[in-house]
Amino acid sequence: MNLLRVALDVPLALLFDYALPETLQATLGDRVVVPFGTRQRLGIVAGAASESEIPAHKLRPIASVRDDAPRLSPEWLELMRFLAGYYQRPLGETMIASLPPRLRSVKPLPRRSPRDAGAAGDGSSPARFVPSHVPTAAQARAIERIGATLGAFHAFLLHGVTGSGKTEVYLHLIARAIDRARQALALVPEIGLTPQLEARFRHAFPGARLAVLHSGLNDAARTSAWLAAARGEADIVLGTRLAVLAPLPRLGLLVVDEEHDSSYKQQEGLRYSARDAAVYRAKLAGCPVVLGTATPSLETWHNCLAGRYERLELPERASPGSRLPDVRVVDLRREPAEQGFAPSLVAAIGKRLALGEQSLVFINRRGYAPVLACHACGWAAGCERCTAHLVLHKADPRLRCHHCGAAAPIPRACPTCGNADLSAMGRGTQRVEEALAARFPKARLVRIDRDSARRRAELPRTLEAIRRGEADILVGTQLLAKGHDFPGLTLVGVLNADAALLSTDYRAPERLFAVLEQVAGRAGRRDRPGEVMVQTRYPGHPLFAALAGHDYAGFAASQLAERRAAGFPPFVHEAALRAEAKKLDSAMRFLREAARLVAVPAEVRVYDPVPHIVTRRAGLERAQLLVQSPSRAALQDFLAAWSARLFQTAPRTLHWHLDVDPIEFD
């Protein structure tokens, strides 16, 4: 009799033995339907066995074998094994969660209609490549160097300043991969916000089959794009984080654009880093991987310094006549702000208005004001379910919690003392917009943040209107920082950089530098020079000097020196064990007991548990415990033993998870 080991989406690390009836054929990588308890479940054949611990008469048979999607390849199974092992999640959960929802179901897909090509492009004409530009010398060097490694694993950092033509380099390399009959996978942080990018890919490869894969697609579209990738039909897969999990039988090139972006880290379930997974995939597939950015993550930079990744530089903007903007700090101690604006920033915006050029005001906080308070008694509006203030919103008038999404009406008077004169403290995008409207009544203002972008469908049109010059002043959060190309934009003003400088999170300077460099990169992308003004009370901070010199290398060197001295990543490796419970005590007790579950080797350090800064979120109290080791291998061995015990012993009533290489600690 034939015995197969099947991975199922259950919270256990093991595979389950099933008998393969004579009438069925199945092998490694097949999706199968099996009885489990009283139900049927979808599983993936992940192994075979010659004998089982389950007595033969109790062994249940596989019910059916699915042929509505291609068999999953050994390489894909290996990727899943790696991810499940590295991020300490059950193999079955890892595999099944990475399938599009329709392929996780025990119900087969409807029969494939002949018109269902899966990927756009008719595929009848061979893929042509239409480059938009003749490469600059620096681009040509990068294309040649990376192109020479097609066919073997090699990890590159493409370090190019904003507007240096990184995308153009990706397109040339993708063309070469397609020429070799290989598939290319290009990961981007966010697709919805950059419809231009997809258009650019389609324009560059008119005959190619392009599959777009992200979580915003409906089930049918996502399934069909996934199938196009998995069947080897798509030449190019352009997608967000989850696209790195799609099977790609002819994979020959991986690109991770904006590799430093934190959206590559999944924050639930399998907490994988798509960037790190991409590097591992390139190893498995024996092909190059290109990590592109203007502001590399310190991990990636460190990997270059250590010789693990090869660095290629694009030091200048590609477009003739365009150069990097001038950055200067506005000293708020000498020039006190009114309504959030230093007089010289207001004057600079006025000057651009007179010239018919665009300005962008960047503030990293949405809403009207972060706190609504009563000065008579000290009351401040707080969220009932979170350790957080409610944010005052005026566009859709409400108090909102930015942690759990709760909303409440705006009180007319203080609920504790009855004072009717409540004060809005601090400012967010809506208040900044209001101040600008008062100061420049004739200017056409556009605010872009997660609230204004809620109706996603409108956003591409708004961005297009901005590109056409139908706006004078833009106010926005990070949503405006990345990727956009606004030809008329020549001034960027940054309002509240200091909040990040004062943060206790050791990653805050790295993030601030990246976002400021990105937002600065929106200015002066054509022949008119750009200018960036950063308001701060700490004009002497070395971060601003590095920013003004567009000196990423200098900034990275000083950050790495600090991290080394303090014993932070990338010089140590980390994992966090987190727990959530109704009472903080239960979470803390669970973590304290967890710390004693298995012996801790000498190279691994387990810290005491601490409550999160936002301790209560959505009604649950949260605490975490940090584990560190200078040795990746020692940490991994420890985590494997530890998580096995945790899965066995943790009470069902308590939520807990392990986060390997965590990046958020709020």
Nearer to ligand ADP, 138 or 248 (CB): 138
Amino acid (1-letter code) at residue 545: A
Size of the site for ligand ADP (CB under 6 A): 17
Amino acid (1-letter code) at residue 574: E
Q: Is 293 in the site for ligand ADP (CB under 6 A)?
A: no
Nearest Cα residue to 31 out of 13, 45, 46: 45
Stretch of 57-65, 127-135, 577-585, 657-665 lying at the interface with ligand ADP (CB under 6 A): 127-135
Is there a contact between 509 and 543 (Cβ–Cβ < 8 Å)? yes
Selected binder of ligand ADP within 112, 128, 133, 461 (CB under 6 A): 133
Q: Is 195 in the site for ligand ADP (CB under 6 A)?
A: no
Is there a contact between 524 and 488 (Cβ–Cβ < 8 Å)? no
Selected binder of Zn ion within 294, 404, 556, 606 (CB under 5 A): 404
Selected binder of ligand ADP within 98, 167, 240, 643 (CB under 6 A): 167
Stretch of 128-136, 283-291, 532-540, 567-575 lying at the interface with ligand ADP (CB under 6 A): 128-136
Q: Is 259 in the site for ligand ADP (CB under 6 A)?
A: no
Tell the smallest beta-carbon distance from residue 294 to ligand ADP (Å): 7
Pair of tokens at residue 110: 């409807």
Stretch of 164-172, 470-478, 529-537, 586-594 lying at the interface with ligand ADP (CB under 6 A): 164-172
Selected binder of ligand ADP within 160, 189, 252, 325 (CB under 6 A): 160
167 binds, among ligand ADP, Zn ion, none (CB under 5 to 8 A by kind): ligand ADP
From start to end of 173-243, where are the E strands? 183-187, 210-213, 236-239
Spatial neighbors of 56 by CB under 8 A, at least 6 apart, are 1
Nearest Cα residue to 268 out of 553, 658, 653, 534: 658
- Angle (CA) 176-182-183 rounded to 5° is 105
Separation between Cα atoms, residue 167 and residue 157, nearest integer Å: 13
Separation between Cα atoms, residue 309 and residue 291, nearest integer Å: 9
Nearer to ligand ADP, 429 or 518 (CB): 518
Is there a contact between 136 and 103 (Cβ–Cβ < 8 Å)? no
Q: Print the binding letters for residues 359-398 with Zn ion: x by CB under 5 A, - otherwise.
A: ---------------x-xx-x---x-xx------------
Nearer to ligand ADP, 162 or 273 (CB): 162
403 binds, among Zn ion, ligand ADP, none (CB under 5 to 8 A by kind): Zn ion
User: C-alpha distances in angstroms, 170 versus 146, 188, 254?
Assistant: 10, 12, 9
Tell the smallest beta-carbon distance from residue 182 to ligand ADP (Å): 22
28 by Cβ neighbours in 10 Å (0-12 / 13-18 / 19+) ranks as middle
Is there a contact between 17 and 8 (Cβ–Cβ < 8 Å)? no
Q: Is 258 in the site for ligand ADP (CB under 6 A)?
A: no
Q: Is 132 in the site for ligand ADP (CB under 6 A)?
A: yes
Q: 573-581 and 605-606 as β-strands: parallel, antiparallel, unpaired?
A: unpaired
Binding site residues, Zn ion, CB under 5 A = 374, 376-377, 379, 383, 385-386, 401, 403-404, 406, 414, 416-417, 419
Binding site residues, ligand ADP, CB under 6 A = 132-136, 139, 160, 162-168, 318-319, 485
